[in-house]
Chains A and B, each alone.
Chain A
Amino acid sequence: MLKKVCSLEILVHWTKAISFFILVISGFGFMFHMEGVGSAFGGFNQMKTIHNWVGVVFAGALFLTIFHYLPVALKFTSDDVTWLTKAGGYLSKKAQLPPQDEINAGQRCLSHYRPHSHLHGDTCQSRDTADNDLRQCTC
Chain B
Amino acid sequence: MGRMSLLVSPELCIGCRGCQTACKEWNQLEGEKTENRGTTENPPDLSTNTYNKIRYVELPSEKNPARLLFVSQRCMHCGDAGCMKICPAPGALFRTDEGAVAFDKDKCIGCRLCVTSCPFNVPRYDADNKVSKCTLCADRISQGLTPSCAKTCPTGALRYGDRDELLGLAKKAGYTKVYGDKDLEGLGAMYAFTDAPVIYGMNDSPAIPESVVFWNNVLKPLSYLGLAGVAAAAVFHYVAFGPKK
Contact = CB atoms under 8 A, between A and B. Distances in A.
Interface of A: 28, 30-33, 35, 38, 44-45, 47-48
B86 to A, nearest CB: 10
Give the secondary structure class of A's interface: helix
Contact of A38 (B90, B110, B223, B227): B90
B54 to A, nearest CB: 35
B202 interface: no
A48 B223 contact: no
B192 to A, nearest CB: 37
Given A30-B89, A33-B90, A48-B111, 13 more contacts: A28-B223, A31-B88, A31-B223, A32-B220, A32-B224, A38-B90, A44-B88, A44-B109, A45-B109, A45-B110, A47-B109, A48-B109, A48-B110
B126 to A, nearest CB: 15
Contacts of B223: 28, 31
A9 B88 CA distance: 34
Nearest to A45: B109
B90 A44 contact: yes
Interface string B78-112: 00000000001110000000000000000101110
Contacts of A30: 88-89
- For this complex, into which size category does the number of interface residues on chain B fall? 10 to 19
Given A45-B109, A48-B110, A48-B111, A28 B88 contact: no
Interface of B: 88-90, 107, 109-111, 220, 223-224, 227
Contacts of A45: 89, 109-110
In the A-B complex, the 4 residue pairs with the closest CB atoms: A30-B88, A33-B90, A48-B109, A44-B89
Given A38-B90, A44-B89, A31 B220 contact: yes
B145 to A, nearest CB: 31
A36 to B, nearest CB: 11
Most chain A C-beta atoms within 10 Å of own C-beta, residue among B109, B110, B224, B227: B109
Q: Which of B88, B223, B224, B227 has the most chain A CB atoms closer than 10 A to its own CB?
A: B88
Contacts of A44: 88-90, 107, 109
B217 to A, nearest CB: 13
Contacts of B220: 31-32
A35 B90 CA distance: 8
Contacts of B90: 33, 35, 38, 44
Nearest to B110: A48
Contacts of B89: 30, 44-45, 48
A38 B227 CA distance: 19
A38 B90 CA distance: 9
A33 B227 CA distance: 16
